[in-house]
């Protein structure tokens, strides 16, 4: 069979849309990104690793990745819980709670940052009771974890919700009629079904949290070696005109982000393969409208 670049179609506009898309993509995304790698390549290998593995950088990775991991784990557990509650139960204000889940996407990160800091500072609404318990939240790694939990909150909920909605009640009823207790049904039937989606949401929340700047920078404390996140380290190096150092760390972050993209894509394919309805093209790190319109199997 002859190899074709594009399947035959009478729909017009291929050339125009391809040209516009590729041109804009190159201009805005590809050229700037490749300049970063270009600049990084002017460093010798020794210089590159000297910066990327410096103690200060390592401390910032520990904080950024560690707090992101904790935040993503909290979101994994509570996200599944929230998704379950929103799909299965009815309670007053449910619609309100459902729409406010997307707040971390809609609210600017700086606003979230100052709000969270105000809440968890020692004289804040939650900071004061926590202080009584001896827990310092603001300006500590705990504060960073709290901010990153906030930022990743919608991911798990929004990836698990459609799966729960598509779930056939008949599976649970079959399990129950075979004698399973509710808990057994939950762990044996329901959890495995939502696990791929939950894992996808977890990975997306983690990836987003690692690069987060605005909501963390106010609550973090920003002390080098202790409460400095990696994006802040990049900015500090820029302010010191250490462009090479900043680029080296930025490249390290880019490589990690791309390395996370691939498993996320695979996870999404795995999780959408499990669902009964066709899923829209889900792309990483973002929220789409609830795919009401693609449940073609109901037609």
Residue 212 within binding range of other proteins, rule CB under 8 A: yes
Is residue 218 a contact partner of residue 114, using CB atoms and an 8 Å limit? yes
Residue 231 within binding range of other proteins, rule CB under 8 A: yes
The correct pick among 144, 198, 203, 246 for binding other proteins (CB under 8 A) is 246
138-177 residues near other proteins, rule: CB under 8 A:
149-150, 153, 169, 172-173, 176-177
The correct pick among 1, 2, 7, 45 for binding other proteins (CB under 8 A) is 7
Residue 240 within binding range of other proteins, rule CB under 8 A: no
Q: How far apart are CA 299 and CA 296, in angstroms?
A: 6
Of the pair 13, 55, the CB lying nearest other proteins is at 13
- Output the six-digit token pair for 7: 């399947």
A 10 A CB-CB count for 36 gives 14
Size of the site for other proteins (CB under 8 A): 112
194: nearest Cα among 70, 69, 101, 81: 81
Stretch that binds other proteins, among 43-51, 132-140, 181-189, 194-202 (CB under 8 A): 181-189
Q: How far apart are CA 30 and CA 24, in angstroms?
A: 9
Residue 222 within binding range of other proteins, rule CB under 8 A: no
A 10 A CB-CB count for 117 gives 24
Place of tokens 């509710």: 182
Residue 2 within binding range of other proteins, rule CB under 8 A: no
What is the smallest separation between the CB atom of 169 and other proteins, expressed in angstroms? 7
257-296 residues near other proteins, rule: CB under 8 A:
257-258, 260-261, 265, 280-281, 283-286, 288-294, 296
Of the pair 224, 286, the CB lying nearest other proteins is at 286
Stretch that binds other proteins, among 47-55, 130-138, 219-227, 250-258 (CB under 8 A): 250-258
- Cβ-count burial 144-154 (b if 16+ within 10 Å, e if not): bbbbbbbbbbb
268: nearest Cα among 254, 256, 257, 279: 279
What is the smallest separation between the CB atom of 220 and other proteins, expressed in angstroms? 13
What is the smallest separation between the CB atom of 134 and other proteins, expressed in angstroms? 19
62-121 residues near other proteins, rule: CB under 8 A:
78, 81-82, 84-86, 89, 91, 95, 97, 99-116, 118-119
Instruction: Write the CB contacts of 256 (distance below 8 Å, at least 6 apart in sequence).
Output: 210
Q: Is 114 exposed, middle or buried (0-12, 13-18, 19+ CB in 10 A)?
A: middle
153: nearest Cα among 202, 196, 108, 194: 202
What is the smallest separation between the CB atom of 126 and other proteins, expressed in angstroms? 7
What is the smallest separation between the CB atom of 226 and other proteins, expressed in angstroms? 19
């Amino acid at each position: 069979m002859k190899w074709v670049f594009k399947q035959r179609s009478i729909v017009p506009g291929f050339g125009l849309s391809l040209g516009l898309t590729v041109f804009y993509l190159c201009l805005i995304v590809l050229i700037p990104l490749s300049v970063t790698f270009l600049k990084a390549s002017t460093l010798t290998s020794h210089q590159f690793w000297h910066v990327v593995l410096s103690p200060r950088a390592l401390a910032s990775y520990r904080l950024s990745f560690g707090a992101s991991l904790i935040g993503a784990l909290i979101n994994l557990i509570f996200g599944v819980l929230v998704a379950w509650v929103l799909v299965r139960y009815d309670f007053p204000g449910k619609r309100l709670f459902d729409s406010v889940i997307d707040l971390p996407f809609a609210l600017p990160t700086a606003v979230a940052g100052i709000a969270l800091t105000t809440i968890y500072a020692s004289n804040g609404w939650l900071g004061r009771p926590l202080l009584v318990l001896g827990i310092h939240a603001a300006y500590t790694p705990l504060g960073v974890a709290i901010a990153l939990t906030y930022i990743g909150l919608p991911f798990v909920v929004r990836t698990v919700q459609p799966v729960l909605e598509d779930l056939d009640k008949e599976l649970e009823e079959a399990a129950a009629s075979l004698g399973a207790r509710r808990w057994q049904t939950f762990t044996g039937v329901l959890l495995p079904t939502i696990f791929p989606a939950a894992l996808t949401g977890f990975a997306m929340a983690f990836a987003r949290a690692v690069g987060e700047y605005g909501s963390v920078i106010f609550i973090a404390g920003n002390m080098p070696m202790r409460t400095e996140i990696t994006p802040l380290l990049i900015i500090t190096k820029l302010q010191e005109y250490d462009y090479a150092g900043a680029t080296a760390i930025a490249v390290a972050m880019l490589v990690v982000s791309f390395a996370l993209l691939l498993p996320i894509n695979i996870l999404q394919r795995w999780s959408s393969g499990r669902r009964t309805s066709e899923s829209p093209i889900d792309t990483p790190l973002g929220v789409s409208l609830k795919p009401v319109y693609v449940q073609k199997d109901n037609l």
